[in-house]
Amino acid sequence: DLRRTVKLANLRIFFNTYVSLGILSFLLTMLLSFLLSLVIFMDFSVFAFAKYISLSLLMGLIVLAGLYYYPRIIMDSRRREIKQDLPFAIIHMAAVAGSGAQLVTVFSMIVESNEYKGLEGEIKRILNYVNLFGYNMSTALRAVAENTPSNEFKELLNGMIETVESGGSLKNYLKNKADDIMTTYKL
């Protein structure tokens, strides 16, 4: 669950590194809170040591819980931003695709407009897959759809993949999708 959440949060860190950082933070927090308790309370009885260890364990668990929930908070934030920008971005894409532009051009124009901050990272990843790594458009869309936190955006990308691979009209697909999503947005 944590591996998937870290991936969907788009944290630029390997999962194993994130877990190692969490364990290190847990241990350091425990050590520092134990030493700080010793310095502050200056009580060296057995009962006091048990309290210090309990306090340091509690502090370590709080840090560990924070590191566990941090990717989920980032993922939920990204999901909200994408949901907020998606209806208007689809309308923009439909307008650009209506002029007969290629899908790469549609995505480039969306990024260049700087109007859709929630979608910018996702669309830049699509463009990087196509322009830098040489993926074809279907593969790039599939890779981003797999790692996006938004189900609506995933649905849009999967629909684009089906349309591109079946030879359908991207212009009609985006127009219909824009109509549907605006109705949903209004409701």
Whole-model pTM? 0.79
10-residue mean pLDDT series, the chain (187 residues): 89 93 96 92 84 94 96 94 91 89 90 90 93 92 92 92 89 89 83
Instruction: Find out whether 68 and 11 touch, Cβ atoms under 8 Å.
Output: no
pLDDT score at 61: 96
User: Which sign does the torsion angle of CA 120, 125, 130, 135 carry?
Assistant: negative
pLDDT score at 47: 86
